[in-house]
């Protein structure tokens, strides 16, 4: 029994000639494919372990970097604007202004997170 070629689309959209499977080579082909996949899986375990660690590091960085940026950058910009255009009161400085405003924003974020955790304020 000969296999008749069938037309199947390739990934680029071009048709290729692929022989149809006959019933005789089904179990043998399945067993060979299973052996090939197991061999490929054993070679990919090291890469997979490195991949999830890298993914975890990226996730932690993406979660931890924006919070300090949101807390620190706006007060610094406000104090810079005040230093250049308005001026400070006697005894005040850029560092004191920035420190005071960053502490206030951090306390506000902390209070908001506690309110969300306690499910209060609704």
**pLDDT tens digit string along 60-105?**
888 888 888 889 999 999 999 999 998 888 888 999 999 999 999 9
CB 93 within 8 Å of CB 80? no
Q: How far apart are CA 112 and CA 37, in angstroms?
A: 51
Same domain, 60 and 47: yes
95 with 114, same domain?
yes
The confidence score (pLDDT) of residue 95 equals: 93
Same domain? 82 vs 109: yes
**What's the rounded Cα separation, in Å, for the pair 78 and 94?**
10
Residue in this structure with the two tokens 């250049």, named with its chain if needed:
84
Same-domain pairing of 49 and 60: yes
Q: What is the pLDDT of residue 25?
A: 66
H helix or E strand, kind and range, residue 18? strand 15-19
Give the count of beta carbons closer than 10 Å to the beta carbon of residue 57: 10
Residues 70 and 95 in one domain: yes
Q: Are residues 78 and 110 in the same domain?
A: yes
Residues 33, 75 within the same domain = no
- Structure confidence by residue, pLDDT tens digits, 4-50: 555 555 555 555 555 555 555 677 777 888 888 887 776 655 555 66
Q: Is residue 18 included in any domain, yes or no? A: no
- Overall domain count for the chain: 2
| H and E: helices and strands count for the chain | 3, 2
pLDDT for 2: 54
């Amino acid at each position: 029994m000969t296999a008749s070629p069938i037309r199947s689309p390739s990934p680029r959209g071009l048709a290729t000639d692929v022989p149809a499977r006959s019933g005789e080579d089904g179990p043998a082909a399945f067993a060979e494919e299973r052996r090939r996949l197991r061999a490929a899986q054993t070679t990919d375990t090291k890469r997979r372990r490195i991949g999830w660690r890298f993914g975890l590091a990226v996730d932690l960085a993406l979660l931890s970097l924006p919070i300090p940026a949101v807390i620190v950058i706006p007060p610094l910009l406000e104090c810079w604007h005040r230093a250049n255009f308005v001026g400070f009161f006697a005894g005040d400085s850029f560092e004191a202004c920035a420190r005071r405003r960053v502490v206030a924003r951090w306390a506000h974020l902390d209070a908001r997170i506690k309110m969300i955790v306690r499910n209060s304020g609704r």
